[in-house]
């Protein structure tokens, strides 16, 4: 069952994977969602960039290990040249280097290929709406990296600005626990629109880049 959130317009998606045995069935299955239209399939990063240039495209579902141009470089190029296009990584690799490289390049979501169709579709919708979605395994590795890696070391980057409100701290703590906006709204008994306002204010005040960065900051600040 699909979960349309974008009104009548279907989200235009590119599926990028160098293996046709993965790429083609995935494109076919996603096409069953009434709010998603797979407009192209790509075997490497150069094909992704060409398909986006031919556009319009809303989301690229990106594998990382591809020939000619890999998914991380393609994500970086898209972030610089087509910031309106969201990237959701879908890969078999969940090591720290791959995760951090993809998120640093601008990916809004990171899923492993254990994810089901509904999970992938939800991540596509979230990315198109400007939100980030991380696979549970990916989130756990990020949390472990923050707790044991360089980001856990003391320093000014760990602190939060003095003008962060108590409510914004609550929202950051819940983001740190991996909750999406809807769950945060339910937990705090406020609307999703209000949650988005708090997140926008929080990100601006604390110079937080994206949701993955917010998770790291929440842990570093002792909120998660």
Is the distance from CB of 14 to CB of 48 less than 8 angstroms?
A: yes
Three-state SS for 16? strand
Over its C-alpha atoms, the chain yields an Rg (Å, rounded) of 17
Q: For the chain, which residues score pLDDT lower than 70?
A: 1-8, 142-158, 178, 224
pLDDT 10s digits, 12-62: 999 999 999 989 999 999 988 889 999 999 999 999 999 999 989 999 999
Is the distance from CB of 30 to CB of 15 less than 8 angstroms?
A: yes
pLDDT at position 221, please? 80
Task: Give the H/E segment covering residue 62.
Answer: strand 59-62
For the record, the structure tokens of 191 come out as: 């609307």
Is the distance from CB of 48 to CB of 74 less than 8 angstroms?
A: yes
Is the distance from CB of 35 to CB of 126 less than 8 angstroms?
A: no
CB atoms within 10 A of CB 48: 30
pLDDT at position 144, please? 65
């Amino acid at each position: 069952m699909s979960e349309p959130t974008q009104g009548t317009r279907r989200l235009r998606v590119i599926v990028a994977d160098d293996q046709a045995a993965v790429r083609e069935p995935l494109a076919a299955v996603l096409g069953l969602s009434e709010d998603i239209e797979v407009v192209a399939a790509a075997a490497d990063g150069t094909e992704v960039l060409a398909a986006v240039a031919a556009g319009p495209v809303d989301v690229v579902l990106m594998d990382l290990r591809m020939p000619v141009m890999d998914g991380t470089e393609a994500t970086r190029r898209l972030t610089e040249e087509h910031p309106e296009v969201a990237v959701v990584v879908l890969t078999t690799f969940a090591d720290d280097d791959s995760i951090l490289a993809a998120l640093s390049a601008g990916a809004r979501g990171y899923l492993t290929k254990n994810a089901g169709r509904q999970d992938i579709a939800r991540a596509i919708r979230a990315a198109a709406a400007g939100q980030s979605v991380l696979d549970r395994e990916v989130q756990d590795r990020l949390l472990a990296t923050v707790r044991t890696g360089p980001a856990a070391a003391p320093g000014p980057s760990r602190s939060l600005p003095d003008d962060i409100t108590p409510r914004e701290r609550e929202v950051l703590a819940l983001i740190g626990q991996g909750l999406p906006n809807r769950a945060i709204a339910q937990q705090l008994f406020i609307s999703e629109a209000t949650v988005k306002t708090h997140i926008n204010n929080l990100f601006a005040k604390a110079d937080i880049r994206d949701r993955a960065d917010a998770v790291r900051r929440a842990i570093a600040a002792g909120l998660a």
